[in-house]
Amino acid sequence: MKTRLLSILLLVVPVLSIFAQVPPPPDYGEDSGTPGAQDTPIDQYLIILVLAFALIGAYYFWNQRKLVKN
């Protein structure tokens, strides 16, 4: 199981660089929104965070199920 998890991570981590984007420069015009408001970086990586959470959760519950069987 650990080798599968490691191989999945080795395949997924290089793909994450595809989603890396350079943020656009700030807009200081009249329609720039409230002063000092910043974009949250979690918006850009929400899909990746959800997938990572699902993988970690599945791994945790898989190990718990194996411990209960023994």
Q: At what angle do helices 46-69 and 2-16 cross, to 10 degrees?
A: 180
Note the pLDDT tens digit of each residue in 39-60.
555 667 788 889 999 999 999 9
Integer Cα distance of 10 and 21 in angstroms: 21
Note the pTM of the prediction, 2 decimals. Answer: 0.38
Q: What is the pLDDT of residues 23-35, one digit of tens each?
A: 767 666 655 555 5
Longest pairwise C-alpha distance within the chain: 65
